[in-house]
Amino acid sequence: MIFTVAVDGPAAAGKGTISRAVAAEFGFAHLDTGLLYRAVGVVSEARAADPAQVARSLTPEDLARDDLRSLAAGDAASRVAVIPAVRAALVDFQRSFARRAGGAVLDGRDIGTVICPEAEVKLFVTASAEARAHRRWLEVGGDAAQVLAEVRARDERDMNRAEAPLRPAADAVLLDTTDLSVAEAVARAAALIRARLPR
């Protein structure tokens, strides 16, 4: 069975948590596409290398780095994600992953709009900037006001980039997690997927 679930949304909205949970529930493969961009950003900065070249030659070791969840890695990802050559290098990998046998869940910022416009289920997971900043602050610590400013700056970059801006697909289901527990958000996403699975 080929069945793709596209999960998009801004930073710290819960898309990764929801994606991992529903992938496990339905036995689907999961790809956090943001990790690809985080790895390209971090590795290209560490090596002072061309991001497009890094994107074309990513290794499993690059994706297993333990610094990919940091705020700095998120910022690096946002900077390289605006480079058309980086996006082009990563598109084919994501598309082939999405259409693998057995089902796949991909989360990112342009899955439903660019990578998998034919996905069987499209979710756009969002939450208020304040809720997302608080979650990120719980994760990484630091100055809460600074974390909120960084979340808003990241939103601005992601939504206004020329190439594949962050926005819901026309046929995506909006899932606002501002006031939902993780269990509630996962349950809603799972119910949507279950309703669209082939009988």
Q: Mention every residue, 6+ apart, whose C-beta is less than 8 A from residue 178.
A: 127, 128, 131
DSSP structure string for 126-147: E--HHHHHHHHHHHH-S-HHHH
Long-range CB pairs of 176-181, under 8 A, 24+ apart, other chains included: 176/126, 176/127, 177/13, 177/14, 177/18, 177/125, 177/126, 177/127, 177/131, 178/127, 178/128, 178/131, 180/14
The single-letter DSSP state of residue 57 is: T
Token pair, residue 135, equals 């979650």
Give the other-Cβ count within 10 Å of 112's Cβ: 28
69 pLDDT more than 90 = no
Residue 6 CA to residue 174 CA, distance in Å, equals 12
Q: Mention every residue, 6+ apart, whose C-beta is less than 8 A from residue 57.
A: none
Residue 131 labeled ligand binder = no
Q: What is the value of pTM for the model shown?
A: 0.84
Q: What is the pLDDT of residues 147-164, one digit of tens each?
A: 999 999 988 888 888 778
pLDDT at 165 (0 to 100)? 84
Residue 13 labeled ligand binder = yes
Q: How confident is the model at residue 6 (pLDDT cuts 50, 70, 90)?
A: very high
Domains of the chain, start order: 4-196 (3.40.50.300)
- Over residues 129-145, the mean pLDDT reads 92
Residue 108 labeled ligand binder = no
Residue 122 labeled ligand binder = no
Residue 11 labeled ligand binder = yes
Residue 17 labeled ligand binder = yes
- Over residues 97-103, the mean pLDDT reads 93
Q: What is the mean pLDDT of the chain?
A: 93
59 pLDDT more than 90 = no
Q: How confident is the model at residue 15 (pLDDT cuts 50, 70, 90)?
A: very high
Residue 10 labeled ligand binder = yes
Give the full edge-to-edge strand order of the sheet including 104-108: 29-32, 104-108, 4-8, 121-126, 173-176
Residue 12 labeled ligand binder = yes
pLDDT at 74 (0 to 100)? 87
The single-letter DSSP state of residue 162 is: S
pLDDT at 13 (0 to 100)? 94
β-pair partners for 175: 125
Q: How confident is the model at residue 101 (pLDDT cuts 50, 70, 90)?
A: very high
Residue 177 labeled ligand binder = no
Count, residues in the chain? 199
